Structures are given as C-alpha cells and as structure tokens.
Amino acid sequence: MTTHLSPTRRRVPGPAALLLAGCCLLAAACGSSTGSTATPSPSKPAAVVPSAPAPEPAAATANLLPGMPPPLDPHDLYAADRPGMLADAVKDFPSRVYVPNTESNTVSVIDPTTYKVVETIKVGRQPQHVVPSWDLKTLWVNNDLGNTLTPLDPATGKTGEPVDVHDPYNLYFTPDGKYAVVMASMDRQLVFRDAHTMAVVKSVPSQCAGVNHADFSPDGKYFIVSCEFSGELLKVDTAEMKVLAKQKIPQSGSMPQDVKISPDGRTWYIADMMADGVWVLDGDAFTTPTKLKTGKGAHGLYASRDSKSLYISNRGEGSISVLDFATGTLAAKWQLPGGGSPDMGGVSADGKVLWLSGRYNAEVYAIDTTDGKLLARIPVGIGPHGLCVYPQPGRYSLGHTGVFR
C-alpha cells in the first residue's frame, strides 16, 4: 500500500508515518495478455485436467454475462480452484512466487520448494501487483508510477517490452475475457481496455477516491470496487461499463481494501484497514454493510482451496484471521512469531501454503494453512506488495494477484 503525498507522487510509508499522517495505503491487482505475449481468447478458457462436476443446468447459465464461461458448479464459484486442477495452459510452468518490490523497482522470484530467491528482475517504477492474464499465459507487472505494464512469461521467466498504460495501480479482467479493467487510483478512473491490445475502450470516472480492489458477481454482470481514500464502495455494470451505485461505508475514516465474494455468491467481504476487520455486504441489494472485527489493519482476502475458509491478513498486527464461509464467523487467528506486516499474496496450488508479502519488513511469509505455522520468512526488496503465486488452479483469471474461476 502506498501513501499519496501529492496528486503526482507516492511512497511507501512506515508504520509511524501512517499514524502521523493518517496515510492512505493502496493495495491492488493483476494482468492480461497482449502484444507478442499471449492474447486471451474470450470464447475459450483454458481447460482443466481433473474430472469436472455434472453438466451445468441450462437455467443456471442462461443469465450469465455473454461470453463468460459457465461455472463448473453453480453453488461454488471456486470449484475450478481445487488442488491439482491446473489448466493445460499452465501445467508445465515452473512453480514460483513473484514479489513486486515497490521501492526497489524489482520483482523477486522465489522458488517455493527451497524458500529461496532465485532471481531479481528489474521492472518499471513502483511495481504494485503481479497479475495473471485472463488466458493465464502472461503475468503483468503493474508499474504504477512508471505508467507501464511489464509482461512476464511464466514459462521462461523472461520479460517483454513494457506496454504504456497510465496509472496502472491494479488490474482486473472481465469474466468474458474481452476487457482489462485498470484501477487508475490517482486518475480517479476505471479504465476499460481491450484485453488483446490494451487500447483504451472507455474511461469511467470513479466518482470516488482511491479505486483499488474488486470482485465479480456470479453471473459476471457487475463487480464491486473498493475506494480506499474516500471510504466508499462502487457497484459497476460490466457490459455497460458504468457505475450503477455508490455508497459510503458507515464508519468515519474507513479505508476499504481487498474485495472477495463467498463461494455461494451470496455474500461479499471487504477488508478495511482502519475498521480493523471486514465489511459483510449483500452485493445484489447493495445495502449498508455490517462489520466483522478480525484484527488491526485488515488488508488481503484469500479463499482456501476447499472453498471452506477465507484467510484475512491483518497487516497492522502481524496476524491472519481465518473465517468459516459456512457460518460467517471467525474460526482461528494465526500470529506471526516476532510480528510482521502481512499484506497481499495467494495460496499455493496444492492449498497447503499461504504466501503473503511483508509490506513494511522487506520480507515474504510462507504460512502452513493447516495450523498457521510460519514455515519461512524470506528477505526480498523494499516495499513488497501484490505477490503472485503461480501457477494456480483455475480456468481463467479475473486479475489482481490471482482471482481464478
């Protein structure tokens, strides 16, 4: 997350600066394919290898966003994310953890089997997130202040020619694979771009300050966006590319971060650093959300591979809360020994390890998902942020550090 010192400049604050200045910290998202790198095919998501559930009822797919792949299971949005369900497009990729270091202007590449940094890649200015493309073939490094996206080939680890994209704080992809959605935080815009060429299709004024995270409805027809600096939420029509509604979070000084929908598609969770918890929202009705306390500086949200739990990183206190999706209650809290600043990340392909960047500590944490034990603390560059574990199961990517369906 970063602090806005002026309309044109950001830096990573330390904990003391955050308290003194009431700083606004950003967190964000992911990428798509373009140019000489792979281009997504909206009509054909990558195939998964393991056996699929029963055929989708026609009634359940009739109202999907046109071009969106039907869900594997209409009752579980994360049914394609099970351990071992790697798509053909990624099954031969080496397993790596990609860590964008915002103040070092690098990406640290970690071998998860050895917990060692095996390569450090120079990228553009202030890389915020590493984002898988919709077709899974490219990783996009979001160079926010460099105003570029750097394509990275996960098969070879090589980078391509940067693509000019203004203010790419975070990056998402529409479920039909047609558009990349740039969260242009400083520009106060949601910028819909062609997922093949990254050419601008439509720039939508955000009507709020600090757009940063999002997730999509089960039918793909709308998505909900957090506005960090104004403490607001947006509901956006995917096909029409327009803001449908906006609401203020009912707490002064709110700073909403990551957004995640429940496996059954009925409940939305929004992490809030200043509320020290998550907001629970009915996305369809878009009524006033209610708060669930988790821990100081709640920031990142990650679903477990069995769709049973939601991991919540509490950056301000060095802990991870575990929410039970079935009951909507907290089941556990894991404290990092010696503290830390767990931020953004993802779950390993087998579901056994939660990987999180340590925003203020220039390190990465590998955490056992069975009991919360810290497996490794790995030194990286300065200001590690939107860490991406890759490859992961799933048929296509919705962006950020890896939101797969």
Taken as a whole, the chain contains a residue count of 405
Task: Write down the pLDDT at residue 23.
Answer: 37
pLDDT in tens, 336-362: 999 999 999 999 999 999 999 999 999
pLDDT in tens, 389-403: 999 999 999 999 999
Q: Find the mean pLDDT for residues 8-27.
A: 38
Give the C-alpha separation, 49 to 46, whole Å.
10
pLDDT in tens, 365-396: 999 999 999 999 999 999 999 999 999 999 99
3-state secondary structure of 18: helix
Share of residues in the chain with pLDDT > 70 (%): 85
Cβ atoms of 365 and 107 within 8 Å: the answer is no
Cα–Cα distances (Å) from 311 to 168, 190, 214, 247, in that order, read 26, 27, 17, 26
CA torsion sign for 49, 54, 55, 57 is negative
Give the C-alpha separation, 279 to 228, whole Å.
13
pTM beyond 0.85, yes or no: yes
pLDDT in tens, 242-286: 999 999 999 999 999 999 999 999 999 999 999 999 999 999 999
Task: Write down the pLDDT at residue 196.
Answer: 86
Task: Write down the pLDDT at residue 61.
Answer: 53
Domain 28-50+66-390 homologous superfamily, CATH: YVTN repeat-like/Quinoprotein amine dehydrogenase (2.130.10.10)
How, if at all, do strands 211-216 and 222-227 pair?
Answer: antiparallel
Q: Is the pLDDT of residue 49 over 80?
A: no
What value does the mean pLDDT of the chain take? 89
